[in-house]
Amino acid sequence: MSLPQTPTFALKGKRALVTGAGRGIGQAAAAALASAGAHVICAARTTSEIEELAGEIRATGGSAEALTLDVMDLDAVNAAVARLDPVNILINNAGTNRPASFLDIKIEDFDFVSNLNLRSAFAVAQAVARRMVETKTPGSLIHVSSQMGHVALPNRAVYCATKHALEGLNKVMAIDLAPHGIRSNTIAPTFIETPMTKPFFQNEEFKSMVLSKIRLGRLGQVEDLMGPVVFLASDASSLITGTSLLIDGGWTTG
């Protein structure tokens, strides 16, 4: 008997671009991809953070470089991607949130959150995908969405709107890019303890509400996302596109 062989999770010889890599989810994604063998381009606005990250990856035997990039600057995004050797993997991660009641949302906050979470995510994905198609490079686009792209929560109208839109955009990217051997998926985490979310949990009432909805009874950690990122980047997920991998501890079960 000849047993089926498990597809590889290894990423040796692959190149990955990670946006928002300076901290939190982006930092963890970069570390995960590097540990699986990929060369990682760590992109963010703060040069010191990504240079430190790239240095730590190299110090542990991985391969990485730093790319100072503001993804809100679309001309800079296109220029940076054009200069890079083509990548096989994109972690489309840069994002933010400015919680407020729907009645109190300021239009400048709406514009800032939607421009970063959706417009910039679109632009980065488009630039990377165009370069992949131009160079005939197959690969995997992984967009960091949220469980809030599937459900809703008070005081997060703009964030929910952008993540729901990203989920829809992901499905169309999967369809349009499939003929080129490019897959597109999202990961949709629950609340992950990061520098952006930690201030929310200083409110004990809010923290208790969150924990009551996460069936596994704990907040997420960035390590919870590292395996899923490697899976979606690797050949182990070669038939998966246009879907969302919910990493929500059971929140969306109802």
Domains and CATH numbers, the chain: 15-247 (3.40.50.720)
Q: Which residues are catalytic?
A: 159
DSSP run (H or E) holding 66 = strand 63-68
Q: Which amino acid is at 143?
A: H
Whole-model pTM over 0.95: yes
Can you tell me the mean pLDDT for 64-85? 98
Q: What is the pLDDT of residues 60-71, one digit of tens each?
A: 999 999 999 999
H or E segment to which residue 63 belongs = strand 63-68
In this predicted model, what pLDDT tens digit does every residue of 169-228 receive, in sequence order? 999 999 999 999 999 999 999 999 988 888 889 999 999 999 999 999 999 999 999 999
What's residue 121's pLDDT?
98
Q: What pLDDT, on the 0 to 100 scale, is given for residue 19?
A: 98
Band of residue 154 on the pLDDT scale cut at 50, 70, 90: very high
pLDDT classification of 254: cutoffs 50, 70, 90: confident
Segment 145-167 mean pLDDT: 97
Q: What is the pLDDT of residues 95-152, one digit of tens each?
A: 999 999 999 999 999 999 999 999 999 999 999 999 999 999 999 999 999 999 999 9
Report the candidate in 180, 154, 77 with the shortest Cα–Cα distance to residue 120. 77
Q: Beta strand 39-44 with 244-247: parallel, antiparallel or unpaired?
A: unpaired
102-109 CB contacts, 8 Å cutoff, 24+ apart: 102/155, 102/157, 105/157, 105/158, 109/158
Q: Give the DSSP letter string of 134-170.
A: HTT--EEEEEE--GGGTS--TTBHHHHHHHHHHHHHH
